[in-house]
Amino acid sequence: MTNATVNRDLAVLRNMLRLARRWKWIRQRPEFDLLPESAPRDLELAEGEQEGFLVACSPALRAVIPATLYTGMRQGELLKLTWGHIDLAARVIDFPPTKRGRKRLMPITEPLYYVLMRLKAERAASGGPKPEDRVFSRPGATCWTKWVVEAQFKTALGAAGIRKPLVFHDVRHTFASRLKRNGAHETEIQRLLGHKTLAMTDRYITVEVEQMRAAVNLLASRTDAEQAAELSRPCRNMTEQPETKSTVSGNYAE
């Protein structure tokens, strides 16, 4: 169990104790510190690596990866997804409500649509799929497990010559970062990822220096740049030493 997972539980406990103190159920609220957490991962599957990686994947994993790349679904959501939650006519994935009753719809992109259509056609040959059937399964209708996914993912990375220490969850980071680079608003990314807060979404987004440069440059028009250049000229001239001419007066003996 990671420190981040422990901290989520500690945060819930801290809030419960705060309420208990407010309601005078306890006289004093115990204080405790959260555990140090590691920095957010900034690894992602580069677009130039994607094609080679998909070719290196097993046929079954090759269907799973686009689903993550184009929806950002968590591994657990992906592996438990059933056909009853997929509406190919409307091109949406209708996730089951959370414990708090929150609904979440995920649009199905064109590439993912064709992957799902192919999987459905393959199942139809054997009389399926039924609404309760898993969308993604291994040969023989065997269900995926976390360990099998990670093992096949690592094998495909090696076969594709990708040396970065990527894990399956980094594909979800890739989804979020690509959305941000293509102009999606953070609140939209938050809803697509199913996050409760923007702070959590921010941990998934990798913004490169050139993107930040382009963002701040939006604040400066060409006129602003020309004015700044004009104003800087006297400053440069002040640093230059003026040329001096020495005059010699008087008579010198040769």
Digits of tens for pLDDT over the chain (254 positions)? Answer: 778 778 878 888 988 998 998 998 998 888 888 887 665 566 888 888 989 999 999 988 998 998 888 888 888 888 889 999 999 998 888 877 655 666 778 888 888 899 999 999 988 887 878 899 999 988 776 788 889 999 999 999 999 999 888 998 888 888 888 888 888 777 777 777 776 665 666 665 555 545 545 554 545 555 555 555 555 565 444 445 545 444 444 443 44
| pLDDT of amino acid 190 | 76
For residue 190, the tally of other CB atoms under 10 A from its CB is 19
pTM for the whole thing? 0.62
Using DSSP, state whether 87 is helix, strand or coil: strand
| pLDDT of amino acid 101 | 62
CA torsion angle 219 221 223 225 (round to 10): 70
Q: Select from 148, 143, 124 the least CA-distant residue to 58.
A: 148
Tokens 């079954």 belong to residue: 60
Instruction: Cis check for the bond before 96: say yes or no (omega within 30 of 0).
Output: no
**No. of H helices and E strands in the chain?**
11, 3
Cα–Cα dist 168/86, whole Å: 23
> Which residues does residue 240 pair with via DSSP β-bridges, in sequence order?
none
Burial of 193 (0-12, 13-18, 19+ CB in 10 A): buried
Q: Select from 218, 192, 216 the least CA-distant residue to 205.
A: 192
Task: Give the residue extent of every domain in the chain.
Answer: 44-209
Tokens 């076969």 belong to residue: 159
Cα–Cα dist 116/44, whole Å: 24
Cβ–Cβ under 8 Å, residues 211 and 198: no
Q: Domain spanning 44-209: which CATH class is it, in words? A: mainly alpha
Query: N- to C-terminal Cα distance for the chain?
Result: 95
Q: In what order do the strands lie in the sheet with 104-107?
A: 86-87, 92-95, 104-107
